[in-house]
A and B are shown apart, each in its own frame.
Chain A
Amino acid sequence: EVQLLESGGGLVQPGGSLRLSCAAYGFTFSSNAMSWVRQAPGRGLEWVSAISGSVGNTYYADSVKGRFTIARDNSKNTLYLQMNSLRAEDTAVYYCAKKGINSGSYLNLDYWGQGTLVTVSS
């Protein structure tokens, strides 16, 4: 059974840093691209970042480019999101999600974690 378990969320001051983790179970992690998607309070879903499987090509939303870094450790079946220079508008529930194998689109996300809440506030 595929499971994605996020951790690392919490309260952080503006300008601070946080690293999110997503532990993956039940599939060949190294073969699958992964994404982070967030939802701010009262807002819709927003794609944040994606990383390809074995090669590790990375992609970022303009809103986080230069501040966030996506990475993966295929030996630990874990996805990461390093978030620096955090702003109040980064406050959101962050989900990790696995790309489906049936299509090439990075937005074909067939399994999602339950999310971890990041609150940026002084």
Chain B
Amino acid sequence: QSVLTQPPSASGTPGQRVTISCSGSSSNIGSNTVNWYQHLPGTAPKLLIYSNNQRPSGVPDRFSGSKSGTSASLAISGLQSEDEADYYCAAWDDSLNGVFGGGTKLTVL
């Protein structure tokens, strides 16, 4: 059972917009920034969003993040086949632990 809660799966067709939610608590998302990762099996995870809504250099602006209270969301617009991957939210917790969500498997139909 992960500390941050994500839906196990999501799907969309090419060109669609999909969102992935991440629910936490006052000790993690509520008081610390949220980061999002894209992970393809057999490869290193890739940072997509940091500080709730900031994109690292090279990440397309199709990816966006937001946070409200103890929840956060990742939105992917203009869905592409190469976006099919696992997505994780992550945040620091005030108990001095790092916490990840359980991951959401995105399928592009």
Contacts and interface: CB of A to CB of B under 8 A. Distances in A.
Interface of A: 35, 37, 44-47, 50, 59-62, 95, 97, 100, 102-110, 112-115
B13 interface: no
Contacts, number: 83
Contact of A102 (B32, B44, B51): B51
B45 interface: yes
A105 B103 contact: no
Nearest to B100: A45
A59 B98 contact: yes
Given A95-B45, A107-B92, A109-B35, A61 B98 contact: yes
A45 B51 contact: no
Interface in B58-97: 86, 88, 90-92, 96-97
B87 to A, nearest CB: 10
B56 A115 contact: no
A59 B95 CA distance: 10
B54 A47 contact: no
Q: Identify which of A47, A59, A102 gathers the most chain B CB atoms within 10 Å of its CB.
A: A47
Question: Which 7 A-B pairs rank lowest in CB-CB distance, beginning with the nearest?
Answer: A47-B98, A112-B44, A44-B103, A107-B90, A108-B50, A103-B51, A45-B100
A107 B101 contact: no
Contacts of B44: 95, 112-115
